[in-house]
Structure 1
Amino acid sequence: MKVYLGACLLALAVNAMAVGALQKPSWETLSLRTPESVLVHPLEGRKVLLVSEIEGGSSDADGAGGIAMLALDGAVIEQNFVRGLNAPKGMAVFADTLYVADITELVAIDLGSREVVARYPVAEAVFLNDVAVDVKGVVYVSDTRTGKVHRLVNGNIDLYREGLADANGLYTEGTDLYVGAGTQLLRVAAEGTATLIAEGFAENIDGVEAIKGGGFIVSCWAGLVYHVDTDGTLNLLLDRRSEKVNTADIGYDHETHTLYIPSFHGNSVGAYPL
């Protein structure tokens, strides 16, 4: 009984931390190049932060974009980890391949060689935005402007789901796909059935991450960060709209319970303990 009670109290404590208002970041790295997304990933024997840098217009096919690599303390390990992309946004990794949304293409990069190994044009794509991979290696990519989610299966791109207005942030759990579509968070099951998880966000959703202790952390690009409780209740953690500081596609470290927020304002990434 004591063990069970202790475990319950620990779980409650973790969840309480998750819903507390965000304070100042423990560190903030400046002088990045339009950082849009952060991905926490183990690489070369250490955990690092991969940061997509648009470096230009968000729809400009100019070859100026890329991926920077930061340490967990915010130090820049290598800002030119990958270059030659256009306007890279969301990222996900499967089997040592980094998949990046790049305007109208899903780009595959070998993390060992840091070379682009494939480019998958997405038919009728306008503004590919976020990427997620499920347990079977299916890669999903959202197109915000068309309200669609496409997927890469066995080297082929197909249309997975449409009619998802302003589809952006993606997260997978098993074979279920969570989609931030406008001001709604939806779960799309493998057979395609969509279920509403939460709604009522004050701005359109950008990043979605499931967190230790239950629920999700959701960012809205306009400058908001929420905790979504397991019953769908929204808890506002951060509001920087009056400062005109955006909060783009967040990254999350499950081991340290740390949230990483990229922002175009100041071209920064900040670390926020939850």
Structure 2
Amino acid sequence: MKKHIILVLALSFSFASNAQNTKEDNYKTGVKIVNEVNGEGASKGLEAAFKSVSPDMADYIIRYGFGEIYNRKGIDFKTKELLIIASLTTQANAKSQLKSHIKAALNLGVTPNEISETMILLSLYTGFPAANNGIFTLKEVLEETNYRASNHINTTQQLVKNWELDGFSMPESIVASPTENWLYVSNVNQNNKGYISRISKDGKVDNYKWVTGLNSPAGLAFYQDKLYVGDGKELHIINVKNGKVVNSITSPDVVSLNDVVVSKNGQVFISDIASGKIFTLVNNKLEVWFQSPEIKHPNGLFIQDNQLVIADYGAELSQTITASNFGSMYSVNITNKSYQIITSAYKLGGLDGVTSVNNGYLVSSNTTGELFFINSNEKKLIGNFPKGLADISILDNLLYTPLIFSNKIQVYNLSTDSNISVENWKRINTKEEYLKIAADNFYGDKDGQSVATHDGQIFGVFGGKVLTGTWDWKNNFFTRTSKIGDMDLGYDELVIEVTDTKMRLTLKQGKGMTVVYNKK
């Protein structure tokens, strides 16, 4: 009996402790959100406002209102504030709260125009008096806060600027060499011949006009020492070793080629933003690969696994495109060409560049200068830029942003936020490093797995066939001689990169096909 009493008491204390911890945790979370939404120190201001009257009310607002309800997943903070503004406007008797939430929305990157459009929409459902009062309250807030859009650039603080460089002429796209210290920038150079710039990864100019004589070069893609350029009526292929155009390919079906991506097995995809078509390259000929009436002006492209991700500019090709005509994001299965909309990116903006991060994508809206994080469940504003944020790209946790109308590029370190950081790949440069980090570990995918042992042997099974071979090291490259089943894979030198859970192998000294395996 004594043991049972002790056990009951222990459980009671445990439940009480957990409940207290939950309350404290929710309060801490609430404080964090209040400060993020309203600005640093806002939680202290809220506590002070209620201290002499009802401190419990401040506790309730912070702990329950923000720590629990506001903290729920599924809707981003920006959308939540617009919904709250709509509700408070409809009530027509909560002006102080409405002003507070308009300020919060502006702090999060909501534009005055978005709030105004919310009021206009409400006029149909709540009547013009309430909507007009809402608009005049917005006007008061803008005057009281001396609002300026330039003060709200990157208010989410997800980006930290590394460096910037000007001197370009309508830079549209940036791509980083995966194996060398070069960045390549396409310059549209309106009304004149376009060109490609080459600069170092720390922002030093090698040659603004590295390749000249182009038309209006836009999207860029790297594959096996070749730079692919979407340039109006033509797809150019440039040898990056000497800067020579080795091929220029066109088709009667082409109107205006834009972005380019290359799959890990070398298949090239090019968007035609004017015709609505996606082309692919077959035996040095451009062939229409995909087209849908739903996707009017496909712009940015990205390949993720077996999916071609498309960022659609929208229903009209105009810098003054209205929100009702904004473009969305789509995912196309490369094998069977079935496609679906990415619902969280529905009518997101005049979309331009798209690239991947942990758990989702970053996509730019050229017409609004907004940068969004997108996945299947959420939309999140990451930063505000000048209009003309074009074809973004990422390499090694650096975000490259061309600003086409500002004639400059900016490079940002991505924050350590789990949503928008990229995987931290470490290249293995020596045999000693490989032995310490990767040897004797199995890596693989759904088709099989293999291991390179500390004594130089390779063995595994892929697709039901036995893989055998030997490995060693030469300069900075992992070398292997292997065969799978009866097929001799021969000798190759590979770039090996690892994270805590994955290995990435790039054949032909980093110039060939890339595969990624999970650590088993």
Report the TM-score, using the length of structure 1 for normalisation.
0.82
- Does structure 1 residue 224 correspond to structure 2 residue 370? yes
Q: Which has the higher contact order (CA 8 A, sep 6+)?
A: 1
Give the letter aligned to residue 173 of structure 1: Q
| Partner SS state of residue 89, structure 1 | strand
How far did residue 122 of structure 1 move? 2.9
- What does residue range 113-132 of structure 1 map to in structure 2 within 5 Å? 113-132=242-261
The one of 180, 189, 212 aligned to 2:333: 189
Q: Which whole-Å deviations, capped at 9, do the CAs of 1:59-103 have from their partners, x for residues lacking one?
A: xxx5x2111112222221221221111110001122211110000
How far did residue 155 of structure 1 move? 1.5
- Does structure 1 residue 176 correspond to structure 2 residue 318? no
Structure 1, gaps ≥5 residues long: 1-18
Structure 2 partner of 1:239: 384
Which structure has the larger Rg? 2
Give the letter aligned to residue 194 of structure 1: Y
- Does structure 1 residue 209 correspond to structure 2 residue 336? no
Structure 1 partner of 2:264: 135
- What is the aligned-residue RMSD (CA, Å)? 1.9
8 Å CA contact 1:197–1:232 kept in 2: the answer is no
Whichever structure has more strand as a proportion of its residues is 1
- Does structure 1 residue 47 correspond to structure 2 residue 47? no
Structure 1 partner of 2:297: 166
Q: Which whole-Å deviations, capped at 9, do the CAs of 1:196-225 have from their partners, x for residues lacking one?
A: 2242344121001012x2211101112111
Structure 1 partner of 2:278: 149
Name the CA distance, whole Å, in 1 between partners of 2:248 and 2:377: 37
Name the CA distance, whole Å, in 2 between partners of 1:34 and 1:40: 18
How far did residue 267 of structure 1 move? 0.5
Give the letter aligned to residue 189 of structure 1: N
8 Å CA contact 2:329–2:346 kept in 1: the answer is no
The one of 407, 410, 415 aligned to 1:267: 407
8 Å CA contact 2:328–2:349 kept in 1: the answer is no
Structure 2 partner of 1:106: 235
Give the letter aligned to residue 184 of structure 1: S
Name the CA distance, whole Å, in 1 between partners of 2:174 and 2:347: 22
Q: Which whole-Å deviations, capped at 9, do the CAs of 1:104-132 have from their partners, x for residues lacking one?
A: 11111111121111111132322211000
8 Å CA contact 1:135–1:174 kept in 2: the answer is no
| Partner SS state of residue 242, structure 2 | coil
- Does structure 1 residue 56 correspond to structure 2 residue 193? no
Name the CA distance, whole Å, in 2 between partners of 1:155 and 1:125: 15
Give the letter aligned to residue 389 of structure 2: T
Name the CA distance, whole Å, in 2 between partners of 1:158 and 1:232: 34
Distance 1:232-1:52 versus aligned 2 partners, 3 A rule: farther
Name the CA distance, whole Å, in 1 between partners of 2:362 and 2:251: 28
How far did residue 20 of structure 1 move? 5.0
How far did residue 192 of structure 1 move? 0.6
Structure 2 partner of 1:67: 196
Structure 2 partner of 1:11: none
- Does structure 1 residue 96 correspond to structure 2 residue 225? yes
Q: Percent identity over the alignment?
A: 29
How far did residue 136 of structure 1 move? 2.0
The one of 365, 387, 391 aligned to 1:249: 391
Give the letter aligned to residue 83 of structure 1: T
Name the CA distance, whole Å, in 2 between partners of 1:35 and 1:116: 20
Name the CA distance, whole Å, in 2 between partners of 1:112 and 1:200: 41
Report the TM-score, using the length of structure 2 for normalisation.
0.45
Structure 2, gaps ≥5 residues long: 1-154, 315-326, 415-520
How far did residue 236 of structure 1 move? 0.8
Q: Which whole-Å deviations, capped at 9, do the CAs of 1:19-68 have from their partners, x for residues lacking one?
A: 9544563211011121000101135xx332110011124xxxx5x21111
Name the CA distance, whole Å, in 2 between partners of 1:176 and 1:193: 10
8 Å CA contact 2:388–2:403 kept in 1: the answer is yes
Whichever structure has more helix as a proportion of its residues is 2
